[in-house]
């Protein structure tokens, strides 16, 4: 694990940082490949949207882009996680507005277990921990992720790669660390992400690719019944790309033609 | 501001701490008075319940109690904030189970503005930011507090001391940093805190005191209509004790007899 804080090699930060105290910040988990961050522009655009939603200003995105690209040139393939917090401040929820944002970069190696998942597909379960619902936070990749932590704590079977989370009304939100898509014929459906969950970078790329391929993409409420009726299911995130679902609980599925076509379009 | 991390004077901590990365931890904001923490046993009991809810083990509460009491003896009156996180770990939501919890203690001075609020009462507004809803997290004083941060960002008028938050169904959850009570005749009503919000230490003390005084205390869904029909309103937290509400939006109220009686019972 290698760490940079505010652009310099450093592993520790202030315990007064609002990122720690309130989860008052955002993150991006980015794929490092051949000395560069894939989709860096998209990651930084989403980060900027998140800063706008949370009212975090004073982030210099041009400098951040340069910093990440420079550090990426020194690193092997793996995951590069970026955290941007509002910064440190006195006690109390109210931001002073004068905080200087903190940025943390952490590199970690690829996971061996992930290598064959794109080809073979993965096993998925349902989680009982609900996704936290808040329209003011939905879609944003913020640091308040206790719901995902508790959901991911529900199983330890290494053969199960992901768990699906639902909101308080039973609508499927996505995986603990991924977005979910259901394919039925030529139609692809994915949750709207307007009450809970994160709008993933790969989710956006897949939706664009599907549109480009003439497929129908719908964003609406997705229930367990929709998933049970789907011909194909797949998961997305920026590190894994597209993972076909080969089993959801006890139901077996095959990686299907739409999933394979999208994998082909979204690779490289 | 004075800081201790894991029992020693220190202001910085690992950027890999899960408290920063996911808000994977808990906190207590405690009142320091005459070289001791008020209600320390209750704070640590709630912390233990929170650890149980989040599956954070390996916290030595007897040692923590001793550490806090020792540090408190060196400090002037003010606020002592304790953060306990799950500790540091590799990337990924799933706790390894072997993390060593991190504890942070931060002292800050009393706020001058708070001194007269107990006597005069405070002005309160409604916030538009909803409280995050999650039955698995409701009641717990965890580090995922972005909803409170956004709600507290809605106003800067120093004459307004608190904002009330509602959940996605319009039920009142509490203030951004307090619990709320409505008094109607001899009946006291406060939100159940079973879908969102924090079960405050002072909330528990007030409920016990009210029972002891022969008042009826109900915990149920509270709406703006309930507050509009209330004869008295008050706010509680461990630092402020009980604050009468003297204005909710444009409605003026007087600190009433039930509030005064409870203030008297819960002081000292």
Nearest residue of A to residue B144, measured between CA atoms: A144
The band of A133, judged by pLDDT with boundaries at 50, 70 and 90, is very high
Q: What pLDDT, on a 0 to 100 scale, did the predictor assign at position A262?
A: 97
Q: What single-letter DSSP state applies at residue A17?
A: B
What H or E segment, with its residue span, contains residue B212? Answer: helix B201-212
Q: Which of A180, A205, A200 is nearest to A191 (CA)?
A: A180
Nearest Cα neighbor of A118 from A212, A236, A199 is: A236
Enumerate the H helices of chain A as residue ranges: 18-22, 40-54, 61-72, 117-120, 146-152, 201-212, 224-229, 257-266
Nearest Cα of chain B lies from the Cα of A186 at a distance, in angstroms, of 34
Q: Are B131 and B30 spatial neighbours (Cβ–Cβ below 8 Å)?
A: no
Please state, in angstroms and rounded to a whole number, the distance separating the CA atoms of residues A202 and B58: 38
By CA distance, what is B14's nearest residue in A? A12
A18: CATH: 3.30.470.10
Q: Given B24, B156, B176, which is nearest A149 (Cβ)?
A: B24
Among the candidates A110, A138, A158, a domain finishes at A110
Q: Over pLDDT 70: what percentage of chain B?
A: 99
| CATH value at residue B184 | 3.20.10.10
CA dist., res. A181 & res. A164, Å (int) = 11
* Chain B residues with beta carbon closer than 8 angstroms to that of A145: 21-24, 93, 144
Query: Are residues B32 and B47 both part of a single domain?
Result: yes
Residues A94 and A133 in one domain: no
H or E element, residue B264 = helix B257-266
Share of chain A above pLDDT 70, in %: 99
Q: Do A122 and A245 form a contact (C-beta atoms < 8 A)?
A: yes
User: Does B241 have pLDDT greater than 90?
Assistant: yes
Tell me, yes or no, whether B98 and B124 share the same domain. no
**pLDDT tens per residue across span B102-141:** 999 999 999 877 778 999 999 999 999 999 999 999 999 9
CA distances in angstroms from A97 to A45, B53, B72, B112, B154, listed in the order given:
22, 34, 31, 21, 12
B contact test, residue of A3, A19, A21, A138 with most B CBs within 10 A: A21
Q: Is the Cβ pair A94, B16 closer than 8 Å?
A: no
Closest to B189 in 3D by CA, of B237, B130, B233: B233
d(CA A106, CA A81): 5
What residue of B is the nearest CA neighbor of A148? B93
- At residue B187, does pLDDT exceed 90? yes
- Check whether residue B122 and residue B212 sit in a common domain: yes
> Which residue is closest to A156 within chain B, CA to CA?
B94
- Given this model, what pLDDT does residue B90 score? 86
Pair A127, A236 in one domain: yes
Mean pLDDT of chain A: 96
Q: Mark yes or no for CB contact B21/A143 under 8 Å.
A: yes
CA distance B60 to B24: 18
- In angstroms, the CA B203 to CA A135 distance is 28
Where is the domain boundary, B110, B128, B143? B110
Same domain, B92 and B120: no
Q: Which pLDDT score, from 0 to 100, does residue A268 have?
A: 57
Quote the distance between the C-alpha of residue A124 and its chain's center: 17
- Chosen for mutation from B10, B144, B239 (greatest number of chain A CBs closer than 10 Å) is B144
Alpha-carbon gap, residue A82 to A105, rounded angstroms? 5
Identify the burial level of B206 via C-beta atoms within 10 angstroms of its C-beta, where 0-12 means exposed, 13-18 middle and 19 or more buried.
Answer: buried
Q: Residue B160 belongs to what domain range? A: 114-266
- Same domain (yes/no): B202, B106: no
- Number of domains making up chain A: 2
Q: Provide the pLDDT confidence category of residue A138 given band limits of 50, 70 and 90.
A: very high
Which chain B residues are closer than 8 Å to A21 by Cβ? 27, 83, 143, 145
Q: Please give the span between the terminal C-alpha atoms of chain A, in angstroms, as a whole number.
A: 26
CB contact under 8 A, B150 and A176: no
What percentage of chain B's residues is helix, strand, coil (to nearest 5)? 30, 30, 40
Q: Name chain B contacts of A143, Cβ cutoff 8 Å.
A: 20-23, 146
B157 and B89 both lie in a single domain: no
Residues B37 and B72: beta-carbon distance below 8 Å: yes
Residues B99 and B166 occupy one common structural domain: no
Q: Are B26 and B141 in contact (CB under 8 A)?
A: yes
Q: What is the pLDDT of residue B112?
A: 75
Structure tokens at B72: 């408190």
Closest residue in B to A175 (Cα–Cα)? B93
Rounded to the nearest 10 degrees, what angle do helices B40-54 and B61-72 cross at?
140
User: What's the confidence (pLDDT) of residue B196?
Assistant: 98
Cα–Cα distances in angstroms (integers) from residue A53 to residues A25, A81, B10, B129, B197, in the given order? 11, 20, 33, 12, 22
The C-alpha angle B30, A131, A155, rounded to 5 degrees, equals: 95
CB distance B22–A23 less than 8 Å? Answer: yes
Q: Residue range A92-119: average pLDDT?
A: 91
Same domain for B153 and B51: no
- Does this model's pTM top 0.95? My answer is yes
Asked if B93 and A152 come within 8 Å (Cβ–Cβ), the reply is yes
> Confidence class of residue B268 from pLDDT cuts 50, 70 and 90?
low
The region that residue A163 occupies, defined by phi over 0 for left and psi between -120 and 50 for alpha, beta otherwise, is beta
Facing residue for A106 by CB, picked from B13, B16, B85: B16
Q: Is the pLDDT of residue B216 over 60?
A: yes
Contacts of B150 in chain A (CB under 8 A): 54-55, 136-137
Inter-chain CB proximity A15 and B144 less than 8 Å = no
CA distances in angstroms from B97 to B59, B69, B86, B118, listed in the order given? 13, 29, 9, 44
- Single out the residue of B142, B240, B23, B39 nearest to residue A149, CA to CA: B23
Regarding whether B201 and B149 lie in a shared domain, the answer is yes
Claim to verify: residue B149 and residue B252 sit in the same structural domain: yes
Name every chain A residue with its beta carbon within 8 A of the beta carbon of B94.
149, 152-153, 156
Give SS3 for A68.
helix
* Residue (of A199, A192, A198, A186) closest to A262 by Cα position: A186
Contact B136 A129 (CB under 8 A): yes
Question: Which domain-ending residue is among B64, B79, B110?
Answer: B110
* pLDDT recorded at residue A228: 96
**pLDDT at res. A249:** 97
The partner residue sitting opposite B150, judged by closest CB among A17, A19, A136, is: A136
Nearest CB among B5, B14, B91 relative to A108 is that of B91
Calculate the average pLDDT of chain B: 96
Q: Which chain A residue is nearest to residue B52, measuring alpha carbons?
A: A150
How many CB pairs below 8 A link A and B? 193
What 3-state DSSP class applies to A50? helix
Residues in A touching B22 (Cβ below 8 Å): 23, 143, 145-146, 148-149
How many CB atoms sit inside 10 A of residue B3's CB? Answer: 18
């Amino acid at each position: 694990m290698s760490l940079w804080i505010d652009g310099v090699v450093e592993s520790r930060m202030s315990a007064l940082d609002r990122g720690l105290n309130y989860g008052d910040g955002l993150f991006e988990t980015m794929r490092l490949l051949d000395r560069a961050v894939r989709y860096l522009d998209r990651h930084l655009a989403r980060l900027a949207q998140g800063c706008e939603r949370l009212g975090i200003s004073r982030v210099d995105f041009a400098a951040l882009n340069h910093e990440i690209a420079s550090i990426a040139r020194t690193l092997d393939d793996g995951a590069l996680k970026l955290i941007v917090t509002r910064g440190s401040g006195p006690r109390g929820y109210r931001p002073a507005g004068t905080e200087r944002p903190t940025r943390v970069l952490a590199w970690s190696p690829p996971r061996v277990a992930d290598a064959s998942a794109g080809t073979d597909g993965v096993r998925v379960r349902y989680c009982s921990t609900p996704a936290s619902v808040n329209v003011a936070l939905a879609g944003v990749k913020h640091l308040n992720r206790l719901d995902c932590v508790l959901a991911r704590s529900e199983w330890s079977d290494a053969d199960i790669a992901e768990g699906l989370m639902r909101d308080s009304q039973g609508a499927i939100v996505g995986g603990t660390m991924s977005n979910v898509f259901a394919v039925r014929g030529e139609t692809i459906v994915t949750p709207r992400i307007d009450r809970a969950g994160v709008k993933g970078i790969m989710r956006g790329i897949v939706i664009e690719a599907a549109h480009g391929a003439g497929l129908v993409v719908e964003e609406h409420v997705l229930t367990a019944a929709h998933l049970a009726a789907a011909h194909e299911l797949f998961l997305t995130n920026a590190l894994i790309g597209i993972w076909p679902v080969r089993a959801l609980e006890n139901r077996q599925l095959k990686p299907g033609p739409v999933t394979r076509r999208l994998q082909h379009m979204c690779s490289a």
